Amino acid sequence: MSSVIRISSSDVIGTMDKNNRPAAYCNDGDTVIFETKDCSDGAVSPDGTRDQTPGKFVGNPATGPLYVNGAEPGDILEVKIISLKTGKLGFMGPGKRVNVFGLVEADYPVRIFDVSDGQVRIGGHVFPADPMIGVIGVAPAGEGIDTFTPAAHGGNMDCTRIREGAAVYFPVSAPGALLAMGDLHAAMGDGEVSWYGLEIPGEVTVQVRVIKGKTLRWPVVVDGKTLAVIASAKTTDECCVLATEQLYDILTSRGWDRTEALYLMSMKCDLRVCQIVDPNMTVRAEISTEYLQPKN
Ligand code: CA
Ligand code: CA
């Protein structure tokens, strides 16, 4: 029988690594709650000041890792996001060395946002929060990878489709998979152009399942009726190639003729930027799930 496991936000890591000590163990099919800190590890106070004490905080902390019994290298780990709740206060900034358009220095102070009623307010505009998970991933195959860097294991992908109701699929590279997550955003636009989403702590409830006999090169997210392959690399050009290659493989493995798969993708696949501010760029190739198989 399934049980609910809770991982406290005191169990955070700054590197996704196969040698990390598990914060918790679970079985295939279990439901697990991850309490997450904001990307500053709590260094930003509600008054907008930021504690800069060296060594006191974990950069971009991820809660975990969770050891999923039975997950082995070569498997896929399915992570269904059952619920995603954020705290009341989020922040953005400060603005030193941030953004993608060349402006530098600390002209952008920390801004605190109260989203306790589920609304974001800025410049007289009010819009609903749309919470998503910035960092989510498993232990990579080789050396550990810091939680600022997205790669084949997931990590800091900052993909807006990773939100409540979505299911994310990861290639397992270490025994137990070692799932970890954090860096929630109450709102973020594709690209994350200032380097900050609306950074906020929260709580994520997931159900995990091990899929045997299939593998992936890059994480996949299914969000509503959209399937997206999420690839990360040094340049967005490389990401586009890697994401479309795996989407093509998914389509042909589900019965599409090679030529028709290519032409379908040219008509119905969208390449979208996830983020362009992290040590690797991230792009997703997405298509409606209605096109995953041919009808004839
Ligand atoms: Ca991030
Ligand atoms: Ca963030």
Instruction: Tell me the CATH number at 174.
Output: 2.60.120.580
194 in a structural domain: yes
Ligand nearest to the CA of 36: 2
Burial 27-44 (b: 16+ CB within 10 A, else e): ebebbbbbbbbbbbbebb
Residues 191 and 187: their CA atoms lie apart, in Å, by 12
Ligand 2 centroid–CA 20 distance in Å is 22
CA of 94 to the centre of ligand 2 (A): 12
Ligand 2 centroid to Cα of residue 261, in Å, is: 35
Query: In which band, very low, low, confident or very high, does the pLDDT at 151 lie, cut at 50, 70 and 90?
Result: very high
Ligand 1 centre to CA of 60 (Å) is: 7
Q: 156 and 273, same structural domain? A: no
Bond into 65 cis (ω within 30): yes
39 CA distance to ligand 2 middle (Å): 6
Residue 130 buriedness (CB in 10 A; 0-12 / 13-18 / 19+)? middle
- Ligand 2 centroid to Cα of residue 293, in Å, is 35
With 80 as the cut, is the pLDDT of residue 1 above it? no
Angle of helix 258-268 relative to helix 236-253, nearest 10 degrees?
130
CA–centroid distance, residue 31 to ligand 1 (Å): 24
Whole-number Å distance between alpha carbons of 292 and 252: 9
Please identify, among 221, 242, 259, the residue that sits at the C-terminal boundary of a domain: 221
pLDDT at residue number 27: 97
Q: What local confidence, expressed as pLDDT, does residue 95 receive? A: 72
pLDDT at residue 101, rounded to an integer: 66
Both tokens of 123, joined, read: 């410049």
How many angstroms is it from 192 CA to the middle of ligand 1? 8
Length of the chain: 296
Residue 162 Cα to ligand 2 middle (Å): 13
User: How many domains are contained in the chain?
Assistant: 2
237 and 102 both lie in a single domain: no
Mean pLDDT of the chain: 95
pLDDT at residue 29 greater than cutoff 80: yes
Residue at 236: amino acid letter: T
- Which ligand places an atom closest to the C-alpha of 198? 2
Does one domain contain both 105 and 251? no
Q: Distance from the CA of 4 to the center of ligand 1, in angstroms? A: 27
**CB–CB of 152/169 below 8 Å?**
no
With a cut of 90, say whether residue 63 has pLDDT above it: yes
Residue 97: which pLDDT band, with cuts at 50, 70 and 90? low
Closest CA to 212 of 101, 108, 73: 73
Tokens of 201: 């702590």
- Residues 267, 217 share a domain: no
Q: CB burial class (10 A; 0-12, 13-18, 19+) of residue 266?
A: exposed
| Dist. CA 59 → ligand 2 center (Å) | 10
Instruction: Please name which ligand lies nearest the alpha carbon of 38.
Output: 2
Do 83 and 14 fall within a single domain?
yes
Distance from residue 200's CA to the centre of ligand 2 (Å): 8
As a whole number, mean pLDDT of residues 194-206 equals 96
Q: Does residue 156 share a domain with residue 121?
A: yes
Q: Which helix (H) or strand (E) holds 231?
A: strand 226-233
In this predicted structure, the answer to whether residue 96 has a pLDDT above a threshold of 70 is no
pLDDT given at position 98? 57
CA 85 to chain centre: 15
Contact (Cβ atoms closer than 8 angstroms) between residue 144 and residue 26: no
- CA 254 / ligand 2 centre spacing (Å): 35
Task: Please give the DSSP secondary-structure letter assigned to residue 21.
Answer: P
- Whether 14 and 156 map to the same domain: the answer is yes
Residue partners of 138: CB distance under 8 A and separation at least 6 = 16, 65, 77, 153, 154, 170, 171, 172, 173, 174, 177, 178, 179, 180
Instruction: Establish how many alpha carbons lie within 13 A of residue 20's alpha carbon, considering only the half-sphere containing its beta carbon.
Output: 33
Structure tokens at 126: 């009010």
- Which residues are 204's β-sheet partners? 34, 84
Question: Residue 240, SS3?
Answer: helix
Cα–ligand 2 centroid distance for 275 (angstroms):
10
Q: Output the CA 278–ligand 2 centroid distance in Å.
A: 10
- Between residues 2 and 274, the one the model is more confident about: 274
Which pLDDT does position 3 carry in this prediction? 62
Please give the distance, rounded to the nearest whole angstrom, from the Cα atom of residue 2 to the centre of ligand 1.
31
Structural domain range at position 132: 4-52+59-221
Q: How confident is the model at residue 105 (pLDDT cuts 50, 70, 90)?
A: low
Compute the average pLDDT of residues 194-201: 95
Report, as an integer, the average pLDDT of 219-240. Answer: 98
Ligand lying closest to the C-alpha of residue 135: 1
Give the span between the Cα atoms of 95 and 50, in whole angstroms. Answer: 12
pTM of the model: 0.96
Whether residue 228 sits in one domain with residue 177: no
Whether 164 and 83 have beta carbons less than 8 Å apart is answered as yes
pLDDT of residue 44: 95
Rounded Cα–Cα distance for residues 113 and 47 (Å)? 11
